[in-house]
Chains A and B, each alone.
Chain A
Amino acid sequence: MPDIDTTTSKPQPGHYVAPLEETPLDAIDTIKAEGKPSNLWIDAWADLRRRPMFWISAAMILIIVFVALFPGLFTSEPPNSNCQLANSNGAPTDGHPLGFTRQGCDVWSRIVHGAATSLSVGIIVTILVFTLGVLFGAFAGFYGGWVDGLLSRIGDIFFAIPYILAAVVIMSVLADYRNVWVISLAIGLFAWPVTARVLRSEILRVKQSDYVTAATAIGVPRFKIMWAHVVPNSIAPVIVITTIALAGAIVAEATLSFLGVGLPSTFMSWGNDIAQAQTTLRTAPQVLLYPSIALSLTVFSFIMMGEVIRDALDPKARAQR
């Protein structure tokens, strides 16, 4: 066995004592305090900011909202004014960039004023669907048992009637009361079960988390656990589906107006304009085309927004790209 100088080699394990000041306990706290706070929403925002799709759809939505709020800035023509049958389906002239409808009204003016109708229906339906969906989904998912059974069966019943068909029935019954509120109610009343189902299944997952157990252990009331801990942590997929539901509501309004059970023709509605232009599709397709483009672009911007938010909120979807 060769001779080893034990004095210069590493100290024996048994004798080694790490200096205490190397990792002071408060250092751990310092690291934590200096680190950037991070949660789902901050991560999502950081992800969103880097996407051109997000900025494009945000800009489109802002423009549509702006047009809806201040139509006077985009057209000097008040809605349904100066309609002269001599101009019926007329070609574009000075001051009327998109030509005239069959009734001789300015197409551009009707499109500009139609934005407010589409957006208000979209927003009212979304609020209604979100409220009903969150209430039903939260109680069903969190309380479980017979509450879940009852609420989920009610949801199933409303889900069984496709919401546009239900809205067709409601609107044809309420033929004398057609306005933005009634049509929003008719759409929203049957569109919420999807939101409730999404929230319910997410809550079933979140309910198992340690922080819920911890909150229960320290005696936080059940109801407060639900609203303060479980629902906020389950809301992400609901946000996504709500953005897409807004687009769906706009399409639903246009479809109902197109079918003739939507808003009366005194309202500026893209669906109405498309329905009225369909009779002259062969001779004057442009009258049908322009409101269709406006409608599709609006729906497109909300769907694109929903898609990027979904990708940003869902790490699984992010990994799949």
Chain B
Amino acid sequence: MLWYTGKRLLQVIPVLLGATFLIYFMVFAMPGDPIAALYGDRPPAPGVIEQIREQYHLNDPFIVQYFHYLIGIFQGDFGVTYSGQSVNDVLARTFPVTIRLALLAIFIEMVAGIFVGLISGLRKGGIFDATGLGVSLVLISLPIFVIGFVAQYFLAIQLGWFSPTVGAGAPLEDLILPALVLASISFAQIVRLTRSSVIETAGLDFVRTAYSKGLTRRRIVPVHILRNSLIPVVTYLGTDFGTLLVGATVTEGIFNVPGVGRTLFQAILRGEGPTIVSFVTVMVLLYLIVNLLVDLLYAVLDPRIRYA
């Protein structure tokens, strides 16, 4: 296990360097003068330009600039937003909200998805299964902002079950609707994954052995079938984390959730390049860390992985 952990950690380093380099390259090797963008139509005094260029290392060669940026990241400094706030401060304020939203969404999609997937898989070909597959196909086809607006209009504005936007401090009851919307995309995938995994596991020899030993269905289904079917679902959560981040950006924008996603959403709408880069970098780092954790968890759950 230790060897596997070490190997996996070493693999992250080139990916981390490569991904940050790519983001940096995309932004700063492309046409456009960042200082001109900062000042708009009225050009600043030449001395000011020189001072800013010096302050942000813009006179250095590209690769040196990249190292300044990289060192900043490793020191936990993600830069400043357009309005001059430290990205770290903004993160400290918005991050807890997004974490709450994401955890709520993951909880909903896991519980509902595994439940529906398990029943569909156990009653393959039945009405429940057919309905579940149909609904999941429709949910996969609906872009998240469509689901968001439809939910906001019908459930919140028309029926009044939920608050259409999230109030100050983001109380948990306001987050339920955005979390439902955020959960809906991955819910469909989890249903399908659990279903096919359950069908596969239920056909294996050890399940037949369990039945022939005279164990009850009540014990076989949760202990023998479900537990062994969950491994692909857990790994899916890792790869799906990217979708969750993008989904959170859109959902938080629609429901006005004061989280990381809305900050990015508003930065995109206002065209604030540096802020976008800072937040995308944070999200990519988060994505890499979550995937690393999921891979390690995978190795804990399935010994075949770490000895392979």
A residues whose Cβ falls under 8 Å from a Cβ of B? 153-154, 156-158, 160-162, 164-166, 168-170, 172-176, 247, 251, 254-255, 258-261, 274, 278, 281-282, 285, 288-289, 292, 295-296, 299-300, 303-304, 307, 317, 320-321
| Most-contacted residue by chain A among B146, B149, B283 (CB, 10 A) | B146
Docked pose: A174 CA to B15 CA in angstroms: 25
Q: Could you tell me the distance in whole angstroms from the C-beta of B121 to the nearest C-beta in chain A?
A: 9
Q: Could you tell me the distance in whole angstroms from the C-beta of A154 to the nearest C-beta in chain B?
A: 8
3 tightest A-B CB contacts, nearest first: A162-B242, A157-B18, A300-B141
A281 lies within 8 A of B152 (CB): yes
In the complex, which residues of chain A have a beta carbon less than 8 angstroms from the beta carbon of B69? none
A259 lies within 8 A of B268 (CB): yes
Contact A172 to B271, CB < 8 A, known contacts A158-B22, A160-B15: yes
Chain B 7-19 interface 0/1 with A at a Cβ cutoff of 8 Å (1 = within): 0000100111011
Docked pose: A160 CA to B108 CA in angstroms: 26
In the complex, which residues of chain A have a beta carbon less than 8 angstroms from the beta carbon of B11? 156
A162 lies within 8 A of B283 (CB): yes
In the complex, which residues of chain B have a beta carbon less than 8 angstroms from the beta carbon of A247? 141
B146 lies within 8 A of A161 (CB): no
Q: Is the interface of A mostly helix, strand, loop or mixed?
A: helix
Contact A296 to B284, CB < 8 A, known contacts A169-B276, A173-B32: no
Q: Could you tell me the distance in whole angstroms from the C-beta of B18 to the nearest C-beta in chain A?
A: 3
In the complex formed, the residue of B with least CB distance to A317 is B196
In the complex, which residues of chain B have a beta carbon less than 8 angstroms from the beta carbon of A153? 14-15, 18
Contact A162 to B287, CB < 8 A, known contacts A251-B143, A299-B141: yes
B24-46, CB < 8 A from A: 26-27, 30-32
Q: Tell me if B257 is interfacial: C-beta within 8 Å of chain A.
A: no
Chain B interface, number of residues (Cβ within 8 angstroms): 52
Q: Could you tell me the distance in whole angstroms from the C-beta of A111 to the nearest C-beta in chain B?
A: 14
A162 lies within 8 A of B243 (CB): yes
B153 lies within 8 A of A281 (CB): yes
Chain B 160-198 interface 0/1 with A at a Cβ cutoff of 8 Å (1 = within): 000000000000000000000000000000000000100
A160 lies within 8 A of B265 (CB): no
B residues whose Cβ falls under 8 Å from a Cβ of A? 11, 14-16, 18-19, 22-23, 26-27, 30-32, 124-125, 137-138, 140-146, 149-150, 152-153, 157, 196, 199-200, 242-243, 245-246, 249-250, 253-254, 265, 268-269, 271, 273, 276-277, 280, 283-284, 287-288
Docked pose: A282 CA to B154 CA in angstroms: 10
**Cβ contact of A165, chosen from B143, B146, B150, B245, cutoff 8 A:** B245
Contact A164 to B246, CB < 8 A, known contacts A157-B19, A169-B27, A292-B146: yes
Q: Could you tell me the distance in whole angstroms from the C-beta of B154 to the nearest C-beta in chain A?
A: 9
| Most-contacted residue by chain A among B16, B19, B199 (CB, 10 A) | B19
Docked pose: A22 CA to B15 CA in angstroms: 68
A296 lies within 8 A of B146 (CB): yes
A-B contact pairs, 15 of them (CB 8 A): A156-B11, A158-B22, A161-B287, A165-B245, A165-B280, A165-B283, A172-B271, A173-B27, A173-B32, A261-B268, A281-B157, A296-B141, A296-B142, A299-B142, A300-B137
Q: Could you tell me the distance in whole angstroms from the C-beta of A93 to the nearest C-beta in chain B?
A: 24
Q: Could you tell me the distance in whole angstroms from the C-beta of B278 to the nearest C-beta in chain A?
A: 11
Contact A161 to B284, CB < 8 A, known contacts A169-B277, A300-B138, A300-B141: yes
In the complex, which residues of chain B have a beta carbon less than 8 angstroms from the beta carbon of A168? 268, 276, 280
B246 lies within 8 A of A173 (CB): no
**Cβ contact of A157, chosen from B22, B138, B140, B142, cutoff 8 A:** B22
B14 lies within 8 A of A321 (CB): no
A258 lies within 8 A of B145 (CB): yes
B143 lies within 8 A of A295 (CB): yes
Docked pose: A153 CA to B271 CA in angstroms: 32
**Cβ contact of A278, chosen from B30, B32, B149, B268, cutoff 8 A:** B149
**Cβ contact of A169, chosen from B124, B143, B145, B280, cutoff 8 A:** B280
Contact A259 to B250, CB < 8 A, known contacts A157-B14, A173-B27: yes
B246 lies within 8 A of A169 (CB): no
In the complex formed, the residue of A with least CB distance to B268 is A259
In the complex formed, the residue of A with least CB distance to B144 is A255
**Cβ contact of A172, chosen from B15, B125, B276, B288, cutoff 8 A:** B276
B265 lies within 8 A of A259 (CB): yes
In the complex, which residues of chain B have a beta carbon less than 8 angstroms from the beta carbon of A157? 14-15, 18-19, 22
Q: Could you tell me the distance in whole angstroms from the C-beta of A138 to the nearest C-beta in chain B?
A: 22
Docked pose: A98 CA to B196 CA in angstroms: 42
In the complex, which residues of chain B have a beta carbon less than 8 angstroms from the beta carbon of A156? 11, 14-15, 18
In the complex, which residues of chain B have a beta carbon less than 8 angstroms from the beta carbon of A165? 242, 245-246, 280, 283-284
Docked pose: A247 CA to B137 CA in angstroms: 12
